[in-house]
Amino acid sequence: MKQFQPSDAIKRLPEQFFAKLAGKVNSYVEAGYDIINLGQGNPDQPTPQHVIEALQAAAEKPAYHKYPPFRGQPFLKKAAADFYKREFGVDLDPEKEVAVLFGGKAGLVEVSQCLLNKGDVALVPDPGYPDYWSGVAMAEADMHMMPLFEQNEFLPDYEAIPEELLSKAKLMFLNYPNNPTAAQATEAFFNETVSFANEQDLCVVHDFAYGAIGFDGERPRSFLETKGAKEVGIEIYTLSKTYNMAGWRVGFAVGNPSVVESINILQDHFYVSLFSAVQEAAAEALLGSQECVDELRATYESRRNVLINGLHDIGWDVTSPSGSFFAWLKVPDRFTSEQFADFLLDNVQIVVAPGNGFGEHGEGYVRVGLLTSEDRLREAVERIKSLNLF
C-alpha cells in the first residue's frame, strides 16, 4: 500500500496525551483487570432527562433535517446570551458576541488559527490543557509556557514573562476553575489580567469549561464579569461538564466581536453548524430547570470529600480542590509523575493522569478525576493504602 506523507501541519501536532493514556489503560482492561479509571475527564452521569426529551422532540421536525444556518440557530445564540446574563450578569449581543462551537475543544484549537501567524507567540499555562498546544502548532506559532506554582495559588506571574517575548505575544490562554490543578481565579487576578492584556495588546482566551463547578459555596467567576474583559478577549463555554453533554459536542465562544467574527469565518469553511435538534436541546439545557446543575455540583463535592478525607486518613498530604471535577495530588518523593502513575496502574490497577502530561511544571503531581461513584473512590483509597506508601 502506498504511503502518503502527512503535511507539515500534521507533523507539528503534539502527541495526543489522552489518546496515549487511553491506550495504556485499554491493554489492562483487555487483560481482564478490574480498573478504577481516575485518569480521564469524561463525565460519568447521564444527560438530564428534560434535555434528552427536547432532542427527541426536535429530531421529529422536518425543517431540522436540512442544513442549519452556517453560524448556528439564532435561538441558541440568544439562549447563550440569556444564560450569561442570568448566571454572571454579563450582557452579550447574540449575533455579534456569540459563536456556536462543536464543543469547547474545537474553539480552543480554532482560535489560534484565527489570531496567530507564523512566529507569533501564545502564552500558555503550564500545567495546562494539552489541546491549547495543538492550535498553536497548526498556526505555526510559538508557545511561551507560564508556570503555575502552588505557592502562587496556581495563577501565572505576568511579571516573570520576558519582555522580548511579550513583544511577539498575541494570545494568552487561561482556564479557571483550572484543569489540571483545580484552582480558582480571584477577582483581583482577572482585573490584573485585563490591565496586562491592554498593556501588551493581547487577546485573552479564557477556557471556562468548569464554570458551573465550585465547592464550599464558592461560585466560579466568569472572566467576562471583569470590567473591560470583552475589550481584550473571549470566554469559551461548553455544555459538556455543566449538563453532562460531552458526547453532544456543543459549546460557544462569547466576548470580543472581532474574535467571534474570526471564529465564525473559519467555521464557515469547515462546517454548516450543528444539527438543529442538538441546538434546540442545548437551548433547553441553558434556559430550562437548573436543578440538575445543583445536583451535579453536590455530587462532585460529596465525591471530593470522600476522596480527600480518605487520602488524608491514610497519611497522604494532599490539597482539597475548590473547583472543577479534578484533584491535583503531589506524588511521593521517590517517584516522578509518570513512575507513580505506572506504579498505581501496575500494582493496584488505578489509573491517574501523570502531571507531566500537562506540561513541564506538572511534574511531581498526578491528576485524579472525581468521575466515578463514592464506593469506587473509597475502594481506590483502600487499594492505595495497601501499598504502605504513607
271/102 Cα distance (integer angstroms): 9
pLDDT > 70: percent of the chain: 99
| DSSP state, residue 64 | G
pLDDT score for 258: 98
| pLDDT class of 31 with cuts at 50, 70, 90 | confident
Write the pLDDT tens digit of every residue in 161-212.
Answer: 999 999 999 999 999 999 999 999 999 999 999 999 999 999 999 999 999 9
Q: What average pLDDT does range 357-379 have in this prediction?
A: 97
Task: Give yes or no for residue 320 having a pLDDT over 90.
Answer: yes
Query: Residues 6 or more apart from 280 whose CB is under 8 A from it?
Result: 54, 55, 58, 64, 73, 75, 76
C-alpha grid cell for residue 85? 446574563
Span(s) in the chain for CATH 3.40.640.10: 49-287
306 has a pLDDT exceeding 90: yes
pLDDT band at residue 25 under the 50/70/90 scheme: confident
Phi, psi of 290 (to 5 degrees): -100, 10
For the chain, percent of residues with pLDDT exceeding 90: 90
Q: Which residues pair with 36 in a beta bridge?
A: 350
- Which of the four pLDDT bands, split at 50, 70 and 90, describes residue 8? confident
Phi, psi of 334 (to 5 degrees): -85, 5
For residue 59, the surrounding DSSP H or E stretch is: helix 49-59
Residue 197 to residue 172: CA distance in whole angstroms = 9
Residues of the chain with CATH 3.90.1150.10: 8-46+291-385
Residue 22, Cβ density class (10 Å: 0-12 exposed, 13-18 middle, ≥19 buried): middle
Cell of 6: 502527512
Q: State residue 254's pLDDT score.
A: 98
The rounded distance, in Å, linking the Cα atoms of 25 and 4 is: 30
Each residue's pLDDT tens digit, 219-269:
999 999 999 999 999 999 999 999 999 999 999 999 999 999 999 999 999
Residues forming beta bridges with residue 236, ordered by sequence position: 207, 253
| Model pLDDT, residue 21 | 74
Pairwise CA distance, residues 129 & 105, whole Å: 10
Terminal alpha carbon distance of the chain: 54
> 48 to each of 51, 83, 291, 355, 372, how far by Cα in Å?
6, 17, 10, 32, 17
Residue 199 identity: E
- pLDDT score at 28: 85
Closest CA to 122 of 266, 10, 233, 209: 233
CATH architecture, domain 49-287: 3-Layer(aba) Sandwich (3.40)
The reported pLDDT for the residue numbered 277 is: 97
- Kind and range of the H or E run holding 36: strand 36-37
Per the document, the length of the chain is 390
Closest CA to 82 of 73, 74, 94: 94
pLDDT for 74 beyond 90: yes
Q: What is the pLDDT of residue 19?
A: 72
d(CA 18, CA 360): 16
- The upper half-sphere exposure of residue 87, i.e. CA atoms within 13 Å in the direction of its Cβ, equals 25
Angle between helices 374-385 and 337-348 (to 10 degrees): 100
52-65 per-position pLDDT tens digit: 999 999 999 999 99
* CATH number assigned to the domain covering 8-46+291-385: 3.90.1150.10
The pLDDT, as a whole number, for residue 13 is 85
Helix (H) or strand (E) holding 145: strand 142-147
Cis peptide upstream of residue 130 (ω within 30 degrees of 0): no
Q: Which of 316, 319, 311 is nearest to 335 (CA)?
A: 316
Q: Which three-class secondary structure state does DSSP give residue 326?
A: strand
The set of cell numbers assigned to 342 is 505506572
**What mean pLDDT, rounded, does the chain reach?**
95
Mean pLDDT of 287-313: 97
Predicted TM-score (pTM) of the model is 0.95
Res 14: pLDDT: 82
